[in-house]
Amino acid sequence: MDALSVVSQLRDLASEPQNREAIVQDKGCLPGLVLFLDHCNPQVLHCALQALRYLAEYPSNREIMKNELGMMVSLESLQERNHTSEDIRVLATEIYELLKKPVQTAKVRINNSSSTKKVQAQFFINSTKKKAKTITLQIEGLHNMDNRSICEEALLKVNGVISFTFQMALQRCIIRIYSDLKTESVASAIAATKILQAHQVVKTESGEEVVVPLNTSTAKVKENFNLPDYLPEDEKPEKEHHKAISRTGAKEDTNGTWFNAAANFLTKTFYW
């Protein structure tokens, strides 16, 4: 199990709301995520920020996260670091502002589910000056971890992609991008891999999902060129990916074997 495997699986677990409190309460996972904020691999750093962004959406987690040793200092450093990509600075800023903001009790009736959803959605909206939007892509060829890594590298190079989460069982990717970035440009970057093809998933007025083809032939992609070199691909043992106890969309108990394995890895790798 390597750093990228651990942080990617933590990110995927954190994308499920029912897992967020357990991850923060775990004695090894949250300190490990903080230490990953100083990692030299931009993929590891980006995944760690995505995981922390999800965890910070849960209001009761924020006080614990804010008081975690090194959390706020690392986030401040990422915001001020000149050679860091804009996407990483945006995520660091979002997390920092969420943790600094006092938790307000929303005046919503418990039985009013629609109002509750609106309040929860506000924690996910980009809190920086530049507006963001979320798109869902159905990706042909996203059927194994090698192709997922290829897709990650393609998305990290697109200027305007803020964060993304994979749903491997559905071969989908949920992506947060700047509002001025066209969906076709993201699909074009994915198509440039020559082995993946992306289509957009949209909902009709009746709530049904429809897969819409995207024209990638004329879309222009503005790339990030200030990302550090990635770690060698052979540092990611493929067999280890089967050790996660929960996948995106699963609802198993997340306090068991996988958390222990991740905590043991973090303990052996870092000293705190």
Q: What is the pLDDT of residues 47-77, one digit of tens each?
A: 999 999 999 988 999 999 999 999 999 999 9
Beta strand spans in the chain (E): 132-140, 161-167, 172-178, 197-203, 209-212
Least confident of 13-22, 43-52, 97-106, 192-201: 97-106
Residues near 268 by beta carbon (within 8 Å), at least 6 away in sequence: none
Domain boundaries, the chain: 3-218+254-269
Q: Could you tell me which residues come within 8 angstroms of residue 74 by beta carbon, excluding any fewer than 6 positions away?
A: 34, 37, 38
State the Cα–Cα distance between residues 44 and 41, nearest whole angstrom: 5
pLDDT at 229: 39
177 - beta bridge partners? Answer: 133, 161
Give per-residue pLDDT as tens, 216-270: 776 556 555 444 433 333 333 333 333 333 333 443 444 445 555 565 555 555 4
pTM as predicted: 0.50
What 3-state DSSP class applies to 249? coil
The amino acid that residue 163 corresponds to is: S
**Distance in angstroms (rounded) separating the CA atoms of residues 175 and 183:** 10
Rounded to whole angstroms, the Cα distance separating 37 from 120 reads 26
Eight-state DSSP code of residue 229: P
Higher pLDDT, 139 or 215: 139
CB atoms within 10 A of CB 57: 19
Dihedrals phi, psi of 255, to nearest 5 degrees: -95, 10
Q: Give me the residue label for tokens 């009761």.
A: 60
Q: What is the mean pLDDT of residues 201-211?
A: 86
Lowest-pLDDT choice from 15-29, 55-69, 88-102, 229-243 = 229-243
The mean per-residue pLDDT over the stretch 79-93 comes to 86
